[in-house]
Chain A
Amino acid sequence: MNAIPAELLNILIGLVAVAASVGLIGLVMVWVERKVAGHIQRRPGPYEVGPSGALQPLCDALKLVGKQLFMPLGADPILFWLAPVLAFLPVLLLFLPLPVGDGLQALDVNLGVLLILAFSGLAVLSVLLAGWASNNKYGLLGAARGVAQAVAYEIPLLLSVLAVSFVAGSLDLAQVVKGQGTWPWNWNIMTQPLAFLIYIVSALGETNRAPFDLPEAESELTAGFHTEYSGMGFGLFFLAEYANMVVVCSVATALFLGGWHGPVLPGPVWFVLKVSALMLLMVFVRWTYPRVRFDQLLVINWKWLLPLAVANLLLTAFFVKLAQFA
Chain B
Amino acid sequence: MIKEALNTVSDLWSLMVGLRVTKDYFRAPQVTVRYPWKAVSNIATYKGHLELVGGKTGKPKCISCGMCALACPSNCLTVVKRKPPKPTPEEEQALAEAKAKGEKPKDKTPKDPEKFIYDFTLCSLCGTCMENCPVGALDFTGSAYLAGYSREDFHFDLVQLLKNQAGLEGMDASAAPETGQSEA
- Whether chains A and B associate is yes
| Mask: chain B, 95-117; 1 = CB below 8 Å from A; 0 = not | 00000000000000000000000
- Check if A44 sits within 8 Å of B23, measured CB to CB: no
Residues of A282-306 at the interface with B, using a CB-CB cut-off of 8 Å, are 284-285, 287-289
The number of residues on chain A lying at the interface, defined by a beta carbon within 8 Å of a beta carbon of chain B, is 13
- The smallest C-beta distance from B158 to any residue of chain A, in angstroms, reads 36
- Check if B19 sits within 8 Å of A285, measured CB to CB: yes
- Check if A284 sits within 8 Å of B23, measured CB to CB: yes
Q: How far is the CA of A286 from the CA of B19 in the complex (A)?
A: 10
In the complex, which residue of chain A has the Cβ closest to the Cβ of B21?
A288
- The smallest C-beta distance from A252 to any residue of chain B, in angstroms, reads 17
| Mask: chain A, 29-47; 1 = CB below 8 Å from B; 0 = not | 0000000100111111001
Residues of A227-257 at the interface with B, using a CB-CB cut-off of 8 Å, are none
List A contacts of B21 (CB < 8 A).
Answer: 288
Q: How far is the CA of A287 from the CA of B21 in the complex (A)?
A: 11
| Interface footprint category on B | 10 to 19
Residues of B5-24 at the interface with A, using a CB-CB cut-off of 8 Å, are 15, 18-19, 21-23
List A contacts of B27 (CB < 8 A).
Answer: 39
CB < 8 Å: which of B22, B31, B32 contacts A284?
Answer: B22
- Check if B34 sits within 8 Å of A47, measured CB to CB: yes
- Check if A40 sits within 8 Å of B25, measured CB to CB: yes
- Check if A43 sits within 8 Å of B19, measured CB to CB: no
- The smallest C-beta distance from B66 to any residue of chain A, in angstroms, reads 47
CB < 8 Å: which of A42, A287, A288 contacts B31?
Answer: A42
List A contacts of B25 (CB < 8 A).
Answer: 39-42
Residues of A174-199 at the interface with B, using a CB-CB cut-off of 8 Å, are none
Q: How far is the CA of A275 from the CA of B180 in the complex (A)?
A: 58
List B contacts of A47 (CB < 8 A).
Answer: 34
- Check if A287 sits within 8 Å of B22, measured CB to CB: yes
B150 at the interface (CB under 8 A from A): no
- The smallest C-beta distance from A302 to any residue of chain B, in angstroms, reads 15
B26 at the interface (CB under 8 A from A): yes
In the complex, which residue of chain B has the Cβ closest to the Cβ of A39?
B26
Given the known A-B contacts A40-B25, A42-B25, are A284 and B30 also in contact in the complex, defined by CB atoms under 8 Å? no
Q: Which 7 residue pairs spanning A and B have beta carbons closest together?
A: A43-B32, A288-B22, A42-B31, A39-B26, A288-B18, A40-B22, A40-B26
16 pairs, A vs B, C-beta closer than 8 Å:
A36-B26, A39-B25, A39-B30, A42-B25, A42-B32, A43-B31, A43-B32, A44-B30, A47-B34, A284-B22, A284-B26, A285-B19, A287-B22, A288-B18, A288-B21, A289-B18
Interface of A with B (CB < 8 Å)?
36, 39-44, 47, 284-285, 287-289
